[in-house]
Amino acid sequence: MRQVAIVGVGMTRFGRLPEQNLMDLLVSASVEALEDARATDVPVDAVFVGNMAAGLLNQQTAVASALVDRLNLVPAAADRVENGPASGGSALAAGYRAIKAGSAEVVLVVGGEKMTHVPGAEVTRTVATLTHPVAERDYGVTLPALAAMLTRLYSQKYDLSDWDRLRVAVKNHANGALNPRAHFQKEVTLEKAASSPLVADPLRLYDCCPVSDGAAALLLVNAAQAESFTDVPVHVRGSGQATDFQVWHERPDPLQLPAVTTATKRALAEARLAISAIDVVELHDAFTILEYAEAEACGFVPAGSYREALTRGRVARDGELPVNPSGGLKARGHPWGATGVAQACEVAWQLQERAGRRQVHGPRTGFTCNFGGFGNNIVCHAFSREPGREGKNGG
Amino acid sequence: MRQVAIVGVGMTRFGRLPEQNLMDLLVSASVEALEDARATDVPVDAVFVGNMAAGLLNQQTAVASALVDRLNLVPAAADRVENGPASGGSALAAGYRAIKAGSAEVVLVVGGEKMTHVPGAEVTRTVATLTHPVAERDYGVTLPALAAMLTRLYSQKYDLSDWDRLRVAVKNHANGALNPRAHFQKEVTLEKAASSPLVADPLRLYDCCPVSDGAAALLLVNAAQAESFTDVPVHVRGSGQATDFQVWHERPDPLQLPAVTTATKRALAEARLAISAIDVVELHDAFTILEYAEAEACGFVPAGSYREALTRGRVARDGELPVNPSGGLKARGHPWGATGVAQACEVAWQLQERAGRRQVHGPRTGFTCNFGGFGNNIVCHAFSREPGREGKNGG
């Protein structure tokens, strides 16, 4: 079976970017990824764009078709992949499969979203299009409300305090302060986070990721050709995706995230990697509680023990299992369709030892978890510096 | 390399379906495809939903995640694929690649759109989201306007009359009259078509496909397992996609459709089939001129000669190369995301000899062309009764 390698990485700064529209952002990240791979003259076979809401927020459909034109990559195949806030992860999975299937040798994967040009209420209304229209939306359920309820349940079961939870924000802001592409490049204290305004009780402002503009891109190739592009390819070893019941209150145990567990197992099985072999992780901390819940559902730490991993510094940038060295969604920002690709960009930079001041110590393997809906569509990927056992020539 | 077979086919009636929402339509087509394959108890690994505008028209994102829940297919992977009016073709391509890549053994591909519940002006505004916002949309360019300009150019070059062109509508309505799932199940005379109201000069009402609701579904499996599902598998032999410059007037020769030519070549090369070996064809006749232009750009007939193929009956249902035996977009209808899947459903039914009163004579191979944007993103597939040369066990 053919194997897949990342040979180029690109990403815009995330944040409020009033001068760039969605297409500008997608182009900017793409060009950086192509230049990074010295591939500006190489035919690209396919382009997959992860984007959640270009129709609703930007009055554009078929953005992938427009992008190949702007990049002068015609006649490359081009599709937009949409899986809510996990659209980027799904676009990466689509690119990976295109190479594995033998349909393509060189694939550009781009994720992006332009969100800050519309009023906050429109962003809220747009993200509510993910929820069940009758069983959730009509009752006023929003994603922050769901996260608040999950936080309450988790906090009751494991006696979690506001401060315990907000340590996620403190850690991720400390990492983001070292990331020149992060939306927020400043540290925050526990005191400040805990005194920030309530958003959805008990969640405070610092429990929630911001609304951001941004795009991220990866150039993927058949691993057998990776060395003609870069000296430091990063191997996409496994891709796993799983769904859960859409309506949160219909799940057997709303505290569990079985789709996270299943997607993780699928990605690691394909990668032939044990979870204990993972060196650096990007999780989808759209809300602080999600870093807790995902780290435990993935199996990086036992249920109820992420607080200890946080307080002991195990998941800090210099810990044994750095989680969200990029700053995560909390500090890097969360342009929906960009996030899944940006997570993979960070893991690639870390494995290539190109992460600058936020570089973690010598990672050989990495893992990403991109969280769609409210935990009902999860996309995970496992990466390594080395090719898989079948050998980089495709076995 | 693994091969892919269709083992189940499902499709709603197309038309104005006021009692069914988008999710109802997707569920209905899916259940029929699963039942057709006797696969209601079989685990489905992945679901791909082709849909263009659920965000704009239905205020729903992540419709694939919602669908797996409604179908009780959790934890199947699920993604929406969007490529404008070729979203269905792209969803089929995604499902095909998932099996070829070894990521899935059983894949449900669904395409659907719910359009008739909004005013016509909103449909027009939504389809305009495909065009370039500055170079086209701001100037008031609509898809009917582009089709009218293409019609004028073609008509000048090849001395085509209104009647010549409207023979496409007459043929496709005659076919649709025999299709119990078609939006329009009635014949139309050339006289009536030629005296219908002008939409965009020279295009008349009968030059244009209707606005329809509907969904279509296919169950795909690794061909090595096809016989455990059905006695009449249909093999997806090749998948080809290609793009062109987005802005029609920026293309070197606006009369050419090079993406159609390239996508056809890619699909046929993968299928190892010559175009002369194709027995039945579904083209994307959103406007009558497109059946002309696509048939010629695919290479089924030489440039400028489709008129002759039409007038001699060569592309009629009982001709040597039936084109759009389903009724095409003109009569079957065109719920954007559904169309590409519905085209493949028709070819599958024809190859299985299950097309009822519109059955063509003993086809062994078939071909579909799904047309995105205004010819700037084309998805073609080639099908056959028999597996490819590598053998049905996957070679």
Calculate how close chain A gets to B231, using CA atoms only, in Å.
Answer: 26
CA dist A325 and A328 (Å) reads: 7
Query: Distances in Å between the alpha carbon of A194 and those of A99, A167, B52?
Result: 47, 10, 43
**CA-closest candidate to residue A372, choices B50, B83, B78:** B78
Q: Contact A359/A353 with Cβ under 8 angstroms? A: yes
Query: Could you tell me the sign of the dihedral formed by the alpha carbons of B113, B114, B116, B119, in that order?
Result: negative
Calculate how close chain B gets to A188, using CA atoms only, in Å.
Answer: 34
pLDDT tens digits, A96-142: 999 999 999 999 999 999 999 999 999 999 999 999 999 999 998 99
In percent, the amount of chain B with pLDDT more than 70 equals 98
pLDDT tens digits, A281-311: 999 999 999 999 999 999 999 999 999 999 9
Q: Contact A384/A235 with Cβ under 8 angstroms? A: yes
A213: tokens are: 């503009």
B251: tokens are: 């293309």
pLDDT tens digits, A183-198: 999 999 999 999 999 9
B97 and A75 within 8 Å at the Cβ level: the answer is no
B20: tokens are: 């069914």
Q: What is the pTM of this model?
A: 0.98
Task: Please report the pLDDT score of residue A391 as a whole number.
Answer: 45
**CA-closest candidate to residue A92, choices A380, A334, A384, A390:** A380
Mutation to test the A interface, candidates B82, B114, B126, most A Cβ within 10 Å: B82
Per-residue pLDDT, averaged over B50-78, amounts to 97
Per-residue pLDDT, averaged over B230-246, amounts to 98
A82 and B84 within 8 Å at the Cβ level: the answer is no
Q: Tell me which residue in B75, B96, B129 faces A243 most closely, judged by beta carbons.
A: B75
Calculate how close chain A gets to B130, using CA atoms only, in Å.
Answer: 5
B262 and A68 within 8 Å at the Cβ level: the answer is no
Q: Contact B218/B345 with Cβ under 8 angstroms? A: yes
What chain B residue is nearest to A270 in terms of C-alpha separation? Answer: B103
* Chain B residues lying within 8 Å of A64, measured CB to CB: 82-83, 377
CA dist A221 and A77 (Å) reads: 15
* Chain B residues lying within 8 Å of A264, measured CB to CB: none
Task: Please report the pLDDT score of residue B390 as a whole number.
Answer: 61
* Chain B residues lying within 8 Å of A244, measured CB to CB: 69, 74-75
Calculate how close chain B gets to A102, using CA atoms only, in Å.
Answer: 7
**CA-closest candidate to residue A285, choices A114, A85, A125, A87:** A85
pLDDT tens digits, A54-107: 999 999 999 999 999 999 999 999 999 999 999 999 999 999 999 999 999 999
Task: Please report the pLDDT score of residue A386 as a whole number.
Answer: 94
* Chain A residues lying within 8 Å of B44, measured CB to CB: none
**CA-closest candidate to residue B177, choices B163, B168, B187, B190:** B187
Asked if residue B395 has pLDDT above 80, the reply is no
Q: Tell me which residue in B65, B101, B377 faces A84 most closely, judged by beta carbons.
A: B65
**Reported confidence tier of residue A390, pLDDT bands at 50, 70, 90:** low
Q: Tell me which residue in B46, B66, B244 faces A75 most closely, judged by beta carbons.
A: B244
Mutation to test the B interface, candidates A47, A67, A82, most B Cβ within 10 Å: A82
Task: Please report the pLDDT score of residue A219 as a whole number.
Answer: 98
Asked if residue B389 has pLDDT above 90, the reply is no
pLDDT tens digits, B197-214: 999 999 999 999 999 999
Question: Please, how many CA atoms are within 13 Å of residue B44, restricted to the half-sphere of its CB?
Answer: 34
DSSP per-residue letters across A226-273: GGGT-SS-EEEEEEEEEE--SSGGGSS-TT--HHHHHHHHHHHHHHT-
CA dist B159 and B172 (Å) reads: 22
B76 and A243 within 8 Å at the Cβ level: the answer is yes
Virtual torsion, Cα A151, A153, A155, A159, nearest 10 deg = 180
CA dist A356 and B265 (Å) reads: 46
Asked if residue B172 has pLDDT above 90, the reply is yes
Task: Please report the pLDDT score of residue A19 as a whole number.
Answer: 97
pLDDT tens digits, B177-193: 999 999 999 999 999 99
Q: Contact B89/B52 with Cβ under 8 angstroms? A: no
What chain B residue is nearest to A269 in terms of C-alpha separation? Answer: B103
Asked if residue B393 has pLDDT above 80, the reply is no
Residues 103-162 of B with CB under 8 A from A: 103, 126, 129-130, 132-133
Query: Distances in Å between the alpha carbon of B242 and those of A71, A87, B245, B340?
Result: 15, 22, 11, 15
A65: tokens are: 């078709």
Asked if residue A393 has pLDDT above 50, the reply is no
**CA-closest candidate to residue B214, choices B56, B60, B337:** B337
CA dist B320 and B360 (Å) reads: 9
B55 and A129 within 8 Å at the Cβ level: the answer is yes
Calculate how close chain A gets to B157, using CA atoms only, in Å.
Answer: 26
Task: Please report the pLDDT score of residue A1 as a whole number.
Answer: 82
Residues 276-335 of A with CB under 8 A from B: none
Q: Which residue has the tokens 């119990």?
A: B180
Per-residue pLDDT, averaged over A31-48, amounts to 96
Helices (H), chain B: 22-36, 54-58, 63-70, 87-100, 120-127, 143-158, 162-176, 190-194, 258-271, 288-298, 306-311, 328-332, 336-351
Calculate how close chain A gets to B312, using CA atoms only, in Å.
Answer: 34
Asked if residue B394 has pLDDT above 70, the reply is no
CA dist A217 and A10 (Å) reads: 5
**Reported confidence tier of residue A394, pLDDT bands at 50, 70, 90:** very low
Calculate how close chain A gets to B256, using CA atoms only, in Å.
Answer: 14
Calculate how close chain A gets to B187, using CA atoms only, in Å.
Answer: 34
Q: Looking at chain A, how many residues does it have?
A: 395
CA dist B7 and B106 (Å) reads: 10
Calculate how close chain B gets to A60, using CA atoms only, in Å.
Answer: 5
Angle (deg, nearest 10), helices A336-351 and A87-100: 60
CA dist B2 and B235 (Å) reads: 12
What one-letter code names the amino acid at B380? Answer: C
Per-residue pLDDT, averaged over A255-270, amounts to 97
Per-residue pLDDT, averaged over A302-325, amounts to 98
Asked if residue A40 has pLDDT above 60, the reply is yes
Task: Please report the pLDDT score of residue A389 as a whole number.
Answer: 76
A380 touching B, CB under 8 A? Answer: no
In percent, the amount of chain A with pLDDT more than 70 equals 98
* Chain A residues lying within 8 Å of B245, measured CB to CB: 69, 74
Task: Please report the pLDDT score of residue A363 as a whole number.
Answer: 98
The DSSP bridge partners found for residue B4 are: B222, B236
In percent, the amount of chain A with pLDDT more than 90 equals 96
CA dist A284 and A3 (Å) reads: 26
* Chain B residues lying within 8 Å of A103, measured CB to CB: 97, 100, 239
* Chain A residues lying within 8 Å of B118, measured CB to CB: none
A55 and B129 within 8 Å at the Cβ level: the answer is yes
Q: Tell me which residue in B1, B46, B373 faces A65 most closely, judged by beta carbons.
A: B373
Q: Tell me which residue in B66, B243, B247 faces A246 most closely, judged by beta carbons.
A: B66
B100 touching A, CB under 8 A? Answer: yes
The DSSP bridge partners found for residue B235 are: B5, B384
Asked if residue B103 has pLDDT above 70, the reply is yes
What chain B residue is nearest to A54 in terms of C-alpha separation? Answer: B55
Virtual torsion, Cα B340, B341, B342, B346, nearest 10 deg = 110
CA dist B234 and B365 (Å) reads: 9
What one-letter code names the amino acid at A38? Answer: R
Mutation to test the A interface, candidates B22, B23, B79, B132, most A Cβ within 10 Å: B79
Asked if residue B54 has pLDDT above 50, the reply is yes
Q: Tally C-beta pairs within 8 A across A and B.
A: 188
A64 touching B, CB under 8 A? Answer: yes
* Chain B residues lying within 8 Å of A60, measured CB to CB: 129, 133
Residues 240-259 of B with CB under 8 A from A: 241-247, 258-259
In percent, the amount of chain B with pLDDT more than 90 equals 96
Q: Contact A12/A33 with Cβ under 8 angstroms? A: no
A66 and B259 within 8 Å at the Cβ level: the answer is no
What chain B residue is nearest to A52 in terms of C-alpha separation? Answer: B61
DSSP per-residue letters across A296-328: HHHTSS-TT-HHHHHHTTTTSTTSSS-B-TT-H
A246 and B65 within 8 Å at the Cβ level: the answer is yes
Q: What is the Rg, in whole angstroms, of the alpha carbon atoms belonging to chain B?
A: 19
Calculate how close chain A gets to B175, using CA atoms only, in Å.
Answer: 31
CA dist B147 and B132 (Å) reads: 16
Q: Which residue has the tokens 């988008």?
A: B22
Asked if residue A395 has pLDDT above 60, the reply is no
